[in-house]
Amino acid sequence: MESKEMAEKNVLPKDVPTMDVHPMDDVLRMDRIPHIWCPGCGIGTAVTAFAEGLKKAEIDLQKTCIVSGIGCTGRVAGYVKLDSFHTTHGRGIAFATGIQVANPDLKVIVFSGDGDIMSIGGNHFIHAARRNVNMLVICVNNFIYAMTGGQVAPTTPHAAYATTSPFGAVEPPFNIPYIADSSGAVYVARWTVLQVRRLTDSIAEALKKPGFSVIEVISPCAMYYSRINRLGDGLDMMKFYHDNTEIRHGEDTKNLDIGFQTKIIVGKFVDRERPTYMDSYNKWLSGTVKD
Amino acid sequence: MKTNTPAILTGTHTLSGNEACIEGAFAAGCRFLAAYPIMPALETIDRYLQRSSEVDATFIQMEDEISALAAVIGASWTGKKSMTITSGPGLSNMMEHLGLSVMLETPCVIIDVQRAGPSIGIPNRPGQGDVMQARWGSHGDYELIVLSPSSPQEMFDFTIKAFNFSEKYRSPVLIMADEYVAHQKGEVKIQPANKIKIEPRKYFKGEKDKYLPFKRDKNFVPRMVDIGENYKFHVTGLTHDDRGYPVMTEKCQEYNVHPLLWKILNDRDEIAEFKESNTDDAEIVIISYGASSNTAQKAMKQARELGIKVGSLKLDTVWPFPDKKITELAEKVKTLIVPEINYGQIVLEVERCSYGQANVVFVSHGETEIDNPDNLISIIKQSQKEKQVKKGIIEYRNETRRG
Amino acid sequence: MAFRNSEGLKMKANPRDVRTGTYYMDGDIAAGYGALAAGCRFIGGYPITPSTEAAESFARIAPQSGAVFVQMEDELASVASIMGASWSGVKTMTITSGPGYSLMMEAIGLGAMMEAPFVILNIQRGGPSTGVPTKTGQADMMQSRWGSHGDYEVIAISPDSPQELFDFMIKAFNLAEKYRCPVMVMSDECVGHMSEKVVVPPAEEIELEPRRIYTGPKEEYLPFKPDQDLVPKMVKAGDGYNLYVSGASHDERGYPIIYQKGKNQSDSTARRLVDKIRLNADKIIELHEEKLDDAEVVVVSYGITSRVAVRGIELARKKGIKVGKLRLVTVWPFPDQRISELAAKVKAFVVPEINYGQVVYDVERCSHGEANVVLVPHGGAGVHDPEDILEAIEYAATEKKKIRKVIIRKTRLEKKVFGGGLK
Amino acid sequence: MKYWGKPFGKELPKTPTGEIHILKERCKGCGFCVEYCPKDVLELSDEYNSKGYHPPQAINKDNCVNCGLCGMICPEFAIWTTLKEEAVHEN
């Protein structure tokens, strides 16, 4: 392809289809770009970090697949050029458990949103963590249900507005790293999309780690969360993250609550060893089931 | 393709329906089970676990039925034949994923050991209240194959058949057993493994970058590949084109969903199997499936002894429904009697296909009558008195049975 | 913000709940207004396109009337929560669409068994599975009748305009209270997102069905002892009755039935659950009939399709074909009797549906081979081309043979897609 | 270029120069790259792309050090840098 050669020579092509030239061609489905996300949305950045992380981790991409549920982040699977599955709402982790248990050679990534993973899929989340199924869960937290138009999510900070909490969210939100930690995840980190390099490193590290890893990615939702709460556009949210995030590695996860426009603590909080589900399964069965 | 694992049972065994089901699954090549324990299907999981190390099969107990079917769909895409086992309430929970497996065209088998419903109902008593649900339970349009065994032997045979159908049509296949069949012990004759016919998965053979996950062949069945072979394909529950990419248009909806029905309906005459007996000279035909067909057989024999010309049609395949056969019978005979352990489901289909040509008599019966055909005999006698063909379903209610 | 009980006891709507006036609003929002006007005090919902606006509109107006909207963690929880709220004495509903509806299936069976009055608003979309979330469909009709395991009967009504979405919410709550069963309002995306004039009448013009409250002596109360019309009386949790309500098959006391040898157990509860709707079907069923006096062909339709069909009928009438319209306002229970009567009189039924054939099979069943049945299918994500309906009517009027199967018409869309591909 | 002096016997630190590639049609004008470019190379241009957004343009091309942050932070895969030449740092 002409354009590919041009890309190799680092020449910007003129009047040729642009799908072949981006350096992330090999991990993203460039024929589906532009994607559906709004201007100022951070999910695209999270995908870039993920793609870079995949490259950095140097794992066998053939043995890697990605699953997502429903929602804005649920569309990620369709843009990543791996074996990809776009499943039903909340069931991404359950679906991935099936893949992983039926074929333990595969590395499964569940890339989905806060509503998908923590609300309707909350049960599967804690159970997969408890079992320590070998998968990486990347949970993009934009504090709201964005695909359906800005309803209150289980992560919406107290008193923040949403269309179904027109007088401010009544319920306290989930602290995702705390749940993951207490349910038994082996790797727990949180980053905002602004710390994109650290996020990339974190993804690369988690990809290589066997067991249930969770990375919470805080992302601006310019169209719903910021708009309803009058927080400006995506860039304003990024500036807010710039001024109000603090990196504290190894922080006790119970201190990681996020309030409405309060300080966000990011970093790598948990990194421990536990036998994965398939390890325990094989070990236990080989000990108890006699031939 | 033939099964070749030495661990597959052969010869004659006395097994319960639940056990026979698992043996059938192993013989058919099933190597993955995700399930959530539910009465009255518990023995299946026990049997599976006892035997799983011999045949090298995997089991995972998921946190609920929703995730059980999700895991089965995921596992099926890794190339393993997969199934799940449940009962009524579990099947209700699986309804969303039944739709997903239809849309992803994932071969998988769902065993439903029916119990008395609705809701919790009576967990340890038989029912047949889920047959309509099996066909219509998920949202949107789809067709699927539903088999209904009536004995442990059929439980074994139909499980193999179900896996074969699911691979052939890339569709979920349901087995609607019931508590009576599942807990019934019976003789199961199993052929040597190399004589059992197994339908291989329809794999894509061609250049990797030319693979389209939903490109249909002339029978409207797309080709499959396993995860982890570097095809980098995308599948989605959204309405999609051949590449598996979502397209939100009216045209694509037609393009995607209509063939889902055609792939089953075009072959409906082959799929829809039934067993006929004594229908040649019959004036009354009992149409039954599952446990009820035991009653039907006994009633037929007794009625013949009494000199009443009764025949029997046992539906092996409940869905797709054998429309033509029923219409044919309705034109020939006077009365069609449909005994079911529910309050009228398949009888509606029989009424539909009889086109007012024969009286349709519905018998709602409970478990006590499975082994005792007296009630059915009395209804046969009662139905003989009808002189004209009546519109609608006739039900002779024996009010004293109530309460 | 607290629950305000006992308002359902009034025969007229509470003026506080009714936003009287004339609006230009979409169907979803009208449904939210309708629910509040009907005295709904609790909605447990989960956002799903295309039904979210209904939840949002309710959330915005509910607190002023003392009603509550709780966004639950999933649809399983939504429907379970409204059942609980229903037994605590308030009118409740949930709002969803196809996939969410599928998730609710188990709990709908529980609702039928517990005889908790509640309403489910289903704004249908293209399916199966995730399908086309933003576009219309009518493919959940059979699911609403058969979706849960076991035998039960529900009531399903299908509105065809935003005004009806408002009116039918009130109707649905009234039916739910009267027959103590789940009532489905089976709307579709097209009606839900259609903006039209909606007139909200003054409160005194809205008639509400009170809950069947038991008033006799406490000791004699049996939670599942039916009245003459097979519907039992209700009390609410916390009134000191020490209720026992179970999803297991139960007797009149509500106690689960324990297996007794030689007795058919399921006869006691489940039979009454189906009978209470089947035997009251005549009182429940509502049909809209037009030009049926001289009709040779009848177009049977419901929901948005009944509005599309009007155009097809007009075109056919212009061509001199005697065609009438039968609109199923109540889809379930199905009007067996009326279809049978018509079948004896007319040549054929034409059934346009935004699915590949669901209600048409019931029309076929009830026509008993006396009239041909023609299906005009549509896969969803759009509505019928009236020309397709016209062609089906023309065909039905001219076909002389009695054909013993559903005649499925090839639509223009199908020809286009499978003739020319997607592009 | 050759230099005589090697202080403390060490090579002078090298600063790379990058070249910026922008796919204007993909841009949705969020401004992340402009805001977070450490060298202030970019600004939003006045021109429109076919979606009606203002894509960024490089105003100080020579300042680019190929750090790649713009490419990382861009949610649209619309901008990236490549190594142009590794120049020796002139002090």
Residues C74-87: what's their mean pLDDT?
Answer: 89
User: Residue D72: which of A34, A49, A233 has the nearest Cβ?
Assistant: A49
Task: Inspect the interface and report whether the beta carbons of C47 and A119 lie closer than 8 Å.
Answer: no
Residue D4, min C-alpha distance to chain A (Å)? 33
pLDDT tens track for D13-53? 778 888 898 988 889 999 999 999 999 999 999 999 888 99
Residue B37: per-residue pLDDT: 87
Task: Give a yes or no: residue A274 inside a domain.
Answer: yes
pLDDT digits (tens, 9 = 90+) for C98-133: 999 999 998 899 899 889 999 999 999 998 999 999
Structural domain includes residue A270: yes
Is residue C7 scored above 50 in pLDDT? no
- Which site among C1, C26, C29, C46 would you substitute to test the A interface, given the most A Cβ atoms closer than 10 Å to its Cβ? C46
The string of pLDDT tens digits covering residues C163-195 is 999 999 999 999 999 999 999 999 999 999 999
Nearest to C130 among B98, B236, B247 (CB): B236
| CA distance linking residue C266 with residue B292, whole number of Å | 16
Share of chain A above pLDDT 70, in %: 91
For residue B34, pLDDT beyond 70: yes
Q: Looking at the structure, tell me whether residues B174 and B52 fall in a common domain.
A: yes
Residue B109 pLDDT exceeds 90? yes
Work out how many domains chain A is built from and give that number.
1
Say if B322 falls within a structural domain: yes
pLDDT for A78 equals 87
D76 reaches A (C-beta below 8 A): yes
- Give the torsion sign (CA, C293, C295, C296, C298): negative
Among B195, B213, B242, the domain boundary falls at: B195
Say whether pLDDT at A51 is over 50. Answer: yes
Residues B142 and B284 reside in one and the same domain:
no
Q: Which of B195, B224, B259 is the last residue of a domain?
A: B195
Burial class (CB in 10 A: 0-12, 13-18, 19+), A254: exposed
* Per-residue pLDDT at C251 exceeds 90: no
Contact C401/B at CB under 8 A: no
Q: Quick one: pLDDT at residue C335?
A: 95
Element (H, E) at C52: helix C52-61
Cα C218 from Cα C366, distance rounded (Å): 46
Cβ proximity of C235 and C211 under 8 Å? no
In-domain check, residue A6 = no
Average pLDDT over chain A, rounded to whole? 87
Q: What is the CA radius of gyration of chain D?
A: 16
User: Confidence band (pLDDT; 50, 70, 90) for C259?
Assistant: low
Shortest Cα distance, chain C CAs vs residue B225, angstroms = 21
Q: Please tell me whether residues B188 and B53 are part of one structural domain.
A: yes
Which tokens in the block code for residue B118?
């609705």
Instruction: Grade residue A147 by pLDDT with cuts at 50, 70 and 90.
Output: confident
Regarding chains A and C, contact by 3 or more CB pairs under 8 A is answered as yes
- Specify whether the CB–CB gap between C367 and C124 falls below 8 A: no
Q: Are C1 and C66 in contact (CB under 8 A)?
A: yes
Domains and CATH numbers, chain C: 1-284 (3.40.50.970), 286-418 (3.40.50.920)
Suggest the residue from A75, A116, A148 to mutate for an interface test with chain C (most C CBs closer than 10 A): A148
pLDDT tens for A5-19 read 444 444 444 443 343
Chain D residues in contact with A18 (beta carbon < 8 A): 23, 25-26
Q: What is the mean pLDDT of chain C?
A: 89
The first and second tokens of residue A131, run together, are 């079992």
Three-state DSSP class for residue C123: strand
Give CA–CA dist C102/C140, Å, rounded. 9
Interface chains of chain A (3 or more CB pairs under 8 Å): B, C, D
Q: How many CB pairs under 8 A join A and B?
A: 127
Q: Judge whether B200 lies within some domain.
A: no
Distance from CA of B93 to the nearest CA of C (A): 6
Residues in B lying within 8 Å of A, measured between beta carbons? 31-32, 34, 53, 58, 60, 62-64, 66-68, 70-80, 82, 96-97, 99-100, 104, 227-238, 245-246
How many domains are contained in chain B? 2
Per DSSP (E only), the strands in A55-99 are: 64-68, 83-86
How would residue D86 be classed by pLDDT, with cut points 50, 70 and 90?
low
Domain limit, last residue, from B195, B221, B245: B195
Report yes or no on A18 lying in a domain.
no
Look at residue A130 and tell me if it is in a domain: yes
Q: Which of residues 283-312 of B touch C (CB under 8 A)?
A: none
Q: Are residues B72 and B176 in the same domain?
A: yes
Residue B310 has pLDDT above 80, yes or no: yes
- Over 70: is that where the pLDDT of B5 sits? no
- State which residue of chain C sits closest to A123, comparing Cα positions: C73
Percentage helix, strand, coil for chain D under 3-state DSSP, each rounded to 5: 20, 25, 50
Q: What would the two tokens of residue C196 be?
A: 């039209």
User: Which residues of chain B have a CB within 8 Å of the CB of A91?
Assistant: 66-67, 70, 97, 100
Beta strands in A37-106 (DSSP E): 64-68, 83-86
C149 and chain B in contact, CB less than 8 A? yes
CA proximity to B4, closest of B32, B23, B21, B26? B26
A2 domain-assigned: no
CATH number for the domain including B300?
3.40.50.920
- Which residue range(s) make up the domain with B325? 275-397
Determine, for residues B95 and C103 on separate chains, whether the beta-carbon distance falls below 8 Å: yes
Percent of chain C with pLDDT over 70: 94
- Is residue C262 very low, low, confident or very high in pLDDT (cuts 50, 70, 90)? low
CATH number at residue A152: 3.40.50.970
Closest CA–CA distance from residue B139 to any residue of chain C (Å): 5
Pairing of strands B185-190, B234-236: unpaired
- Per-residue model confidence as pLDDT tens digits over C332-376: 999 999 999 999 999 999 999 999 999 999 999 999 999 999 999
Cβ B151 vs Cβ B183: under 8 Å: no
Tell me how crowded residue C397 is: count the other CB atoms within 10 A of its CB. 18
Within the 42-81 window of chain A, which residues sit less than 8 Å (CB to CB) from chain B? 61-63, 65, 67, 77-78, 81
Q: Are residues B285 and B187 in the same domain?
A: no
- What is the torsional sign of CA A39, A43, A47, A49? positive
Strand-pair category, C195-200 with C21-26: antiparallel
* Minimal CA separation from D32 to chain A, in Å: 6
Structure confidence at residue C6 as a pLDDT band (50, 70, 90): very low
Query: Do B66 and A91 lie within an 8 Å CB cutoff?
Result: yes
The ipTM value here is: 0.83
Mutation target to probe the D interface, by most D beta carbons within 10 A, among A22, A142, A245 is A22
A237 is a domain residue? yes
> What pLDDT sits at residue A16?
38
For residue A67, give the nearest of A54, A57, A80 by alpha carbon: A80
Identify the band that residue B19 occupies on the pLDDT scale cut at 50, 70 and 90: very high
Task: Kindly report the nearest CA distance between residue A93 and chain D, in angstroms.
Answer: 25
| Dist. CA B256–CA B242, nearest whole Å | 8
In a domain, B129, yes or no: yes
Give the CATH number for residue B104.
3.40.50.970
pLDDT above 90: residue C2: no
The answer as to whether A284 is a domain residue is yes
Is residue B159 domain-shared with residue B17, that is, in the same domain? yes
Contact C150 B367 (CB under 8 A): no
| Residue B200 or C423, more confident | B200
Smallest CA-to-CA distance from A29 within B233, C6, C251 is with B233
Confidence band, pLDDT 50/70/90 cuts, at residue B134? very high
Does A10 sit within 8 Å of D82, measured CB to CB? yes
Is B221 part of any domain? no
Q: Which chains would you list as touching D if contact means 3+ CB atom pairs under 8 Å?
A: A
Residues A21-41 have pLDDT tens digits of: 677 878 888 888 888 899 999
Q: Is the pLDDT confidence value at A2 over 80? A: no
Q: Which domain holds residue A102?
A: 23-289
Residue D88 pLDDT grade (very low, low, confident, very high; cuts 50, 70, 90):
low
Contacting chains of B (3 CB pairs or more, <8 Å) are: A, C
Of all residues in chain A, the percent with pLDDT exceeding 90 is 59
Does A154 sit behind a cis peptide bond, omega within 30 degrees of 0 on the bond before it? no
Is the model's pLDDT at C143 over the cut of 90?
yes
Calculate the average pLDDT of chain B: 90
Of A83, A94, A289, the CB nearest to B62: A94
How far separated are the first and last CA of chain A, in Å rounded?
A: 57
Position A269 scores a pLDDT of: 96
User: Mean pLDDT throughout B225-242?
Assistant: 91
Interchain CB contact of C33 with A (< 8 Å): no
